[in-house]
């Protein structure tokens, strides 16, 4: 999804500072850009607080101005129950999904161009408003992103900085690679299950860009995210039961 956002924004004439922990992924994205002069790549682990805090200043120096950020980095945990998670996995998920976003958002706010419209977009998840059994810590990290971003939206009222939080449903991306093994290296998830009723990454990027252009606070990606948001607000317990039943079947299949 991050790659599709990058490529589409470049086609629109936007200059992009693309960062990823994976150098090869960055190189592949750069080769696909319609205008190579509009992209610069940076290897960055968003969980590295010191480097993440310094990153926006580096980008502004390289580009001459900074008009916004889309915080899209994220990982999910193995599909296991809470007692089976290691402390290391819990810390890693929270550091990447939440602490990294907080660090980058705060650092970007210090560097944004103040005489133009700017934006901060943080990607949460459908799992950030609807509990998903087997993804408790991932969901907690994304719920934290949701509330952090909504509070930031309130704090930025009266400024030219527009804030949005994105709630993707099931998206056809490589995020499932991060859950194919548990902490012991054992397989716990069939990727075919993760592709069930997914939204293509390019369509997800279109929805996000359109939401940013329209100045939306909350951007839902996929019919599943929209439907479950409504269901959870109307009948929360039933929505959790439905999700637990589906996840239970999936985990039994993998056992």
Domains observed in the chain: 2-254 (3.40.50.720)
In order of 65, 93, 246, the CA distances from 243 in angstroms are: 44, 21, 5
Using CA atoms of 218, 173, 20, 89 in order, give the dihedral in degrees to the nearest 10. 90
pLDDT digits (tens, 9 = 90+) for 36-75: 999 999 999 999 999 999 999 999 999 999 999 999 999 9
Write a three-state SS string for 69-123.
Answer: EEECCCCCCCCCCHHHCCHHHHHHHHHHHHHHHHHHHHHHHCCCCCCCCEEEEEE
Query: Higher-confidence residue: 172 or 217?
Result: 217
Which run of H or of E encompasses 199? Answer: strand 199-200
Query: Distance between the two ends of the chain, CA-based, in angstroms?
Result: 30
**DSSP for residue 160:** S
Model's pTM, two decimal places? 0.89
């Amino acid at each position: 999804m991050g790659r599709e956002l990058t490529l589409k924004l470049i086609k629109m004439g936007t200059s992009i500072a693309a960062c990823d922990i994976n150098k090869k992924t960055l190189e592949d994205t750069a080769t696909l850009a319609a205008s190579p002069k509009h992209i610069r790549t940076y290897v960055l682990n968003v969980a590295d607080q010191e480097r993440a805090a310094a990153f926006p200043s580096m980008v502004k120096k390289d580009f001459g101005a900074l008009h916004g950020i889309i915080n899209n980095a994220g990982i999910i945990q193995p599909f296991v129950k809470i007692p089976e998670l290691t402390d290391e996995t819990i810390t890693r998920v929270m550091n990447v999904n939440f602490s990294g976003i907080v660090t980058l958002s705060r650092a970007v706010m210090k560097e944004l161009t103040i005489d133009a419209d700017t934006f901060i977009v943080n990607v949460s998840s459908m799992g950030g408003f609807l509990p998903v059994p087997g993804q408790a810590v991932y969901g907690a990290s994304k719920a934290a992103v949701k509330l952090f971003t909504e509070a930031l939206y309130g704090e930025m009222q009266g400024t030219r900085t527009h804030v949005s939080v994105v709630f993707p449903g099931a998206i056809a991306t490589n995020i499932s690679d991060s859950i194919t093994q548990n902490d012991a290296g054992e397989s716990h998830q069939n990727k075919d299950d993760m592709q069930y009723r997914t939204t293509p990454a390019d369509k997800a990027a279109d929805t996000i860009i359109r939401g940013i252009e329209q100045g939306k606070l909350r951007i839902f990606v996929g019919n599943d995210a929209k439907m479950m948001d409504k269901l959870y607000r109307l009948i929360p317990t039933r929505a959790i039961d439905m999700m637990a039943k589906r996840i239970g079947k999936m985990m039994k299949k993998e056992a």
